[in-house]
Structure 1
Amino acid sequence: MRSPRRPWRRRVLDRLVGLADLLVPAGRAVVVHSSPDLDDSTVALLRGAPPGIDVIVLAEDLSGAQRRADALVLRPRLLGRRSRRGLLAYLRSPVAVTTHGVFGARRRPRGKQVVGLWHGEFGKRIGTFVGERPRHFDWVPVSSQLARQVRSAEFALDPARIHVVGSPRQALLEDPDAVRRRLGLTGPQVVVAPTYRVSVQGMARADGDVARVAQEEPWTWPETAALLEEHGATIWLRPHPAADQQVGAGERVRLARNRDLEELGVTFYELLGAADCLVTDYSSIWVDHLVRDVPVLGFCPDLEVYRRTRGLALEPYEEWFPGPVVGRGEDLVAELARVLAGHDDHAARRRATRALLVDAAGTEPVARTWDAVRERVGRRPAAAPPASRGGSAPS
């Protein structure tokens, strides 16, 4: 189902902000904006911010963003995106770092730049493939040459603007032992992370078969609880942030919503990095999770319907997915039992998929992204005309 057009008031506001951007000269402070506020890429960037860069975070929900920052021991300069100070910060920023666009996703004037940190690679069809308008970004990080080609088509972007350096959020996957110690985790940890079927945030849409998915919730079954108890394992159930999902949790099952994890002082990607097994469906997180060489199970009760209603970026999906794809809860429990017993039946397939989709593992994506931001801050016309500088963006 095609997502509805944005309300006319928002389109008018974005256009007015674009006109104001023509008039206001750039300063020095970089703005960072994500949806949802302080997403995992933003957290990774803030933790790895180099000295000498002035960063302002623009938030949709200022009080909620402040609570999240406090929980994660971050001290960013936070402004409401729609406030006067937030709007002025955006207009004066030489670089806006954003997941979706701050006031639209168009080319900025006066040499100002946009770094685009989209929140995932592959999975669902997005962008021009589902009838959305092209998005403009001046510099975009991705994890593979294949992702570079697909992202170019998704947003109608010049591929020269897209760079295979990895995604900043992947940096949060890199220290699982520290996360396990911090949370006091023992035994195998399983993350279950289905994508939304009905979105209530951002672009409202409905995909897949909600009723069919609701029939299959094996993490609530007694036999699943017995399996987890046998192996001393824990399931972390992660409802998609864009969905208003009511989820059931059985024994040895913990919820991993943002507010649950903030109470523990960790982000979702930090928890994901500590997982011994990931269970998901069409979410793009499995591509990032290939950085961690552990089993991935596909649980897709509505695969055929999802294909028809939303469409998938990688087909045939069952061949691209780095593990078995099952549609019945009984089959998922059987596959999970194999994993918890120490079997890794699909390791060769997972590593072959990783070789195709994660070229950039270990390339310090946070540092590379800040390098790109720094270069663009230095390019602003008031400081140095582009013709007087050499070099190019990191690639």
Structure 2
Amino acid sequence: MLSIKKCNNLILKYLIKTLRPFIVPKNNFIVYHSFPDFSDNCFTFFCYVLDNHKEYKNIWLISKRDKEKYSKLLANYTTSSNYLIVEKKSFSGVYYFCKSKYVFFTHGLFNEVNLSKKQININLWHGMPLKNIGHLDNNSRVPKSDFVIATSALFQNIMSKAFLIKNENVLITGQPRNDLILTNKYSLLDLVQKKSTDFDKTVLWMPTYRKSVIGDVRKDGNLEEMNDFFEEKYLIKLNEFFLSTKSICFIKLHPMDYLDVNDFKTYTNLVFLNNASFEEKGISLYSVLQNTDLLLTDFSSIYIDYLLLNKPIGFLISDFDQYSNSRGFVFEDPKEFMPGEIITHKKELIPFLQNLLFANQDNFEEERAKTRDIFHEPKNKFSERVFNTIFK
């Protein structure tokens, strides 16, 4: 017996195939979709089009019905009201999908349906990969697209293989979300209503998931070793360090992670965040990055974006071998492209923080700049480049 989800997908597929022959896509209609809703490359590009190209009709297809949830976010990033918000799995959603000449997405949109020659599908994705993605990860659920974007020739080749798309159809434009990195409009401190004068340093810690419960449900790496960093006794010690140094650390959990902010106690100088933390304030993650002093991460693509700022990065990778053997990487030796301190055990973290943040022992500035230039050919105006390339 078919599940409700599969039944709904079959109905949508039938509806799209039925309507398509009778609907001519309009050249000035653009449809957008992302996971989570109103996020990542799609959201920034959407705002760029709204503010700079008023001749287009913009339709955002949401997965969830709560339209009001995103009103604050939209008000913070665009002054335009030239858009519609429509539920994806509805007749209106299918209608506008078929009616739009241009389709932009981060994780695919109606993947069960073949591409239409009447439309142009642009996969903005959600980061340049360090870990294997798409067909490089033997994933059969890869979204179909006419174009994919990349940040450099190196990633152009990788994205071509990951999505089985011609090299020339991978556009070296940079990622729209990185337009926000180059601004300092907001800070992580805005999420907790504190002033920058309250702290000397702000650290952002963004681990990728080892066990996911949403989307591509899977386990990668060594869950136990990574969770060792989140042991309560250690978090208390880490909080004491940040308190004693008049600093604060924000730990942003991956939206697909099985861990949740409610799994952790409340600390004074250690703050756990999820997507809802940003949604409540109407703030995009990428617009707070410039107002941080250090990024802690592991195999997340966030560090590749963070290189544009040439600020210090610490890599917490206690399970490198296990992750390499399970998920795997797009590079033979990814550590060659990780310009920062490699931290393999929690006992190394506080000394690293002490030396870097308060003794100014940054030994990777030149290496970061070199890696940045390999990873990023365009270094600004990313949304504009996407627009000018697609709508030329």
TM class by shorter-chain length?
A: 0.7 to 0.9
Name the residue aligned to 1:356: 374
Indicate how the Cα distance of structure 1 residues 326 and 225 shifts in structure 2: closer, same or farther if over 3 A, else same: same
Which 5+ residue runs of structure 1 have no aligned equivalent? 1-6, 376-392
Structure 1, residues 100-138: CA drift from partner, whole Å, max 9, x if none?
A: 221017753242110111001112201111222454322
Residues of 1 paired with 2:170 and 2:113: CA distance? 16
Indicate how the Cα distance of structure 1 residues 160 and 119 shifts in structure 2: closer, same or farther if over 3 A, else same: same
Residues of 2 paired with 1:11 and 1:182: CA distance? 41
Q: How many residues are matched?
A: 367
Q: Does 1:26 align with 2:25?
A: yes
Residues of 2 paired with 1:110 and 1:131: CA distance? 27
Name the residue aligned to 2:196: 185
Q: Does 1:80 align with 2:87?
A: yes
Give how far 1:10 is off.
6.7
- Read off the aligned partner of 1:164 and give its amino acid letter: I
Name the residue aligned to 2:136: 129
Indicate how the Cα distance of structure 1 residues 276 and 368 shifts in structure 2: closer, same or farther if over 3 A, else same: same
Structure 1, residues 258-313: CA drift from partner, whole Å, max 9, x if none?
A: 21123333111112232211000111111111111100110012211111111122
The question of whether the paired residues in 2 share the 8 Å contact of 1:217 and 1:329 is answered with no
Q: Does 1:345 align with 2:363?
A: yes
Name the residue aligned to 1:319: 336
Give how far 1:181 is off.
10
Residues of 2 paired with 1:259 and 1:313: CA distance? 31
Q: Aligned ranges for residues 103-252 of structure 1 at < 5 Å?
A: 103-104=110-111, 108-133=115-140, 135-176=143-184, 178-180=185-187, 183=190, 184-186=195-197, 187-217=200-230, 220-246=234-260, 247-248=263-264, 250-252=267-269
2:273 to 235, 252, 256: 256
- SS in structure 1 of the partner of residue 177 of structure 2: helix
- SS in structure 1 of the partner of residue 330 of structure 2: coil
1:70 to 64, 69, 72: 72
Give how far 1:215 is off.
1.7
Name the residue aligned to 2:309: 292
Deviates most, 293-302 or 316-325:
316-325
Name the residue aligned to 1:47: 47
Indicate how the Cα distance of structure 1 residues 10 and 355 shifts in structure 2: closer, same or farther if over 3 A, else same: farther
Residues of 2 paired with 1:329 and 1:339: CA distance? 16
Give how far 1:24 is off.
2.4
Residues of 2 paired with 1:100 and 1:340: CA distance? 37
Residues of 2 paired with 1:155 and 1:336: CA distance? 38
Structure 1, residues 364-395: CA drift from partner, whole Å, max 9, x if none?
A: 1111222345x2xxxxxxxxxxxxxxxxx5xx
Residues of 2 paired with 1:79 and 1:11: CA distance? 17
Residues of 1 paired with 2:29 and 2:158: CA distance? 32
Quote the sequence identity (%).
22
Residues of 2 paired with 1:128 and 1:10: CA distance? 26
**TM-score calculated relative to the size of structure 1:** 0.86
Residues of 2 paired with 1:192 and 1:217: CA distance? 12
Indicate how the Cα distance of structure 1 residues 67 and 300 shifts in structure 2: closer, same or farther if over 3 A, else same: same
The question of whether the paired residues in 1 share the 8 Å contact of 2:187 and 2:287 is answered with no
Q: CA RMSD in A?
A: 2.4
Deviates most, 317-326 or 118-127:
317-326
Give how far 1:315 is off.
3.2
Give how far 1:89 is off.
0.5
Give how far 1:156 is off.
0.4
Give how far 1:326 is off.
1.5
Deviation >6 Å, runs of 4+: none
- SS in structure 2 of the partner of residue 48 of structure 1: helix
The question of whether the paired residues in 2 share the 8 Å contact of 1:59 and 1:79 is answered with yes
Structure 1, residues 144-200: CA drift from partner, whole Å, max 9, x if none?
A: 110100000000001111111110000111112x32498333421111000111111
**TM-score calculated relative to the size of structure 2:** 0.86
Indicate how the Cα distance of structure 1 residues 60 and 175 shifts in structure 2: closer, same or farther if over 3 A, else same: same
Q: Aligned ranges for residues 375-386 of structure 1 at < 5 Å?
A: 375=391
